[in-house]
Amino acid sequence: MDALVNKRIKQVLKGDQNAFSDIVSLYQHKLYQICYRMLGNKQEAEDIAQEAFVRAYINLHTFDQKRKFSTWLFRIATNLCIDRIRKKKPDYYLDAEVPGTDGLDMYSHIPASEQLPEETVEKMELQDRIQYEISRLPDKYRSVIVLKYIEELSLQEISEILDMPLGTVKTRIHRGREALRKQLNNL
């Protein structure tokens, strides 16, 4: 796959914009998933995932083709997600209904770190519950947990994506796991 990706990258660099659509098609689901798990909102996830691809396109000439493209791309996306979380822009789509929650819209998701009443959480479907628990994690633990357990990336790759030492990644995963454990036990 890497050979194909590098071939497409060369074509894009030569000015063939259409070759980029193959790259988008290969990584769109993974990239969207990271953004969705980080942000917990479909519209925002779509916006940030698209933005990540656009930035990748514009800065493609800075990509070192000896390295793994997905690592570079995920790094752009996670940085954008973290920026978005930190800005805490009030551009939530409050009326968007969360599927499978039977009328539970985004009003019930803000602020994400705030705990919902126990009965509400207990009534949640499993998938919504998972996303809710992930969104309650502090963002520095959220990113490592998402990359490790949702994207199933190696610790080494996570350290490259987040540009932090392996030891820091491990510490954050350990603390993230403990934080999640406590969240789940409190119910």
Partner 1 sequence: MSTCPQYIVDYMHEYLDGDISREHEQQLKKHLQVCSDCQQHMHELSDTIAFVKSAAHITAPPHFEEMVMKRLPKHKNRVGVQRWFRQHPIIVAAAVFFLFMSATLLSSYPNDEFSFTAKPNLIVDGQTVIVPEGEVVEGDIVVKNGDIVIEGAVNGNVTVINGQYMASTSVVTGQIEEIDQVFEWLWYEIKDMANDFMALFEK
* Residues at the interface with partner 1 (CB under 8 A): 13-15, 17-18, 20-21, 24-25, 28-29, 31-33, 36-37, 42, 46, 49-51, 53-54, 57-58, 61, 126-127, 130-131, 133-134, 145, 149-150, 155, 170, 173-174, 177-178, 180-181, 184-185
Beta bridge partners of 97: 105
In the complex, the smallest distance separating the C-beta of residue 170 from partner 1, rounded to whole angstroms, is 6
CB of 119 to partner 1, least distance (A): 20
Hey, what amino acid is at 37? R
Structure tokens at 16: 């063939």
| Residue 177 phi, psi dihedral angles, 5° rounding | -65, -45
Residue 134 CB, nearest approach to partner 1 (Å): 7
User: Which of 90, 146 has the CB closer to partner 1?
Assistant: 146
Q: Of the two residues 28 and 115, which places its CB atom closer to partner 1 in the complex?
A: 28
Smallest gap from Cβ 108 to partner 1, in A, equals: 19
**Amino acid (one-letter) located at 50:** Q
Nearer to partner 1, 18 or 90 (CB): 18
Element (H, E) at 144: helix 139-145
Asked if residue 81 lies in contact with residue 35, where contact means CB atoms within 8 angstroms, the answer is: yes
Angle CA 74–76–82, to nearest 5 = 95
The answer to whether 128 touches 162, Cβ cutoff 8 Å, is no
